[in-house]
Chains A and B, each alone.
Chain A
Amino acid sequence: GAVVSQHPSRVICKSGTSVKIECRSLDFQATTMFWYRQFPKQSLMLMATSNEGSKATYEQGVEKDKFLINHASLTLSTLTVTSAHPEDSSFYICSPTGATNEKLFFGSGTQLSVL
């Protein structure tokens, strides 16, 4: 199966700082990247969808200026949580997909804790 690398797996930061999460597809070209957020005991909630080289499309209620998504290449996408606050503490998961992928692939997730 395809390999997805997401890091860091866990990050603790102070309120007001920015945190960058990287997601790489190691053996396929990810033309589309989904970013999810998951709160404890809840399902994955789609935050945004990005296509390589294009601006991301954000779901309703997700602030695009707070959650910056860069998808500049077919193997790398980043999510930057700017000016993080305790309410941003969550489990963030990336899901890269290519044009020929039948399956959906997911990163191992990043647990963000904002103090």
Chain B
Amino acid sequence: DAKTTQPPSMDCAEGRAANLPCNHSTISGNEYVYWYRQIHSQGPQYIIHGLKNNETNEMASLIITEDRKSSTLILPHATLRDTAVYYCIVRFDSGGYQKVTFGTGTKLQVIP
């Protein structure tokens, strides 16, 4: 099972891009990388996920290195509402068996 590591906290100026790194050096070939965020005392909110290729949606971009041992979540224009804890997650899903491993999370503080 892959284990993910993240920096415990980061600051970002409002309007600037926030780049959140994640290491998953033991990830296997069929494990996906997911990013979620959590605001205090709520359930995690989906942001984006990918396997090998870089992904982009209306919320963020996900950059996965070619060796898949690390990834970066990019919030292109951070707002105050993006202040939250961001979790990098690895998910294994095969033949009905699933395993999900949460990272330690990065507390992102967006500063006015």
The interface of chain A, by Cβ under 8 A from chain B, is 1, 4, 6, 31-32, 34, 36, 43-46, 49, 51, 91, 93, 95, 97, 99, 102-109, 111
Contacts and interface: CB of A to CB of B under 8 A. Distances in A.
B91 interface: yes
Contacts of B101: 46
Given A43-B87, A43-B104, A104 B46 contact: yes
Main secondary structure of the interface of B (DSSP, over half): strand
Contacts of A32: 96, 98
A36 B104 CA distance: 14
Interface string B35-57: 01000011110100100000000
Contacts, number: 52
Return the 4 tightest CB-CB contacts between A and B, nearest first: A106-B43, A108-B43, A106-B44, A44-B102
Interface of B: 34, 36, 41-44, 46, 49, 87, 89, 91, 96, 98-105
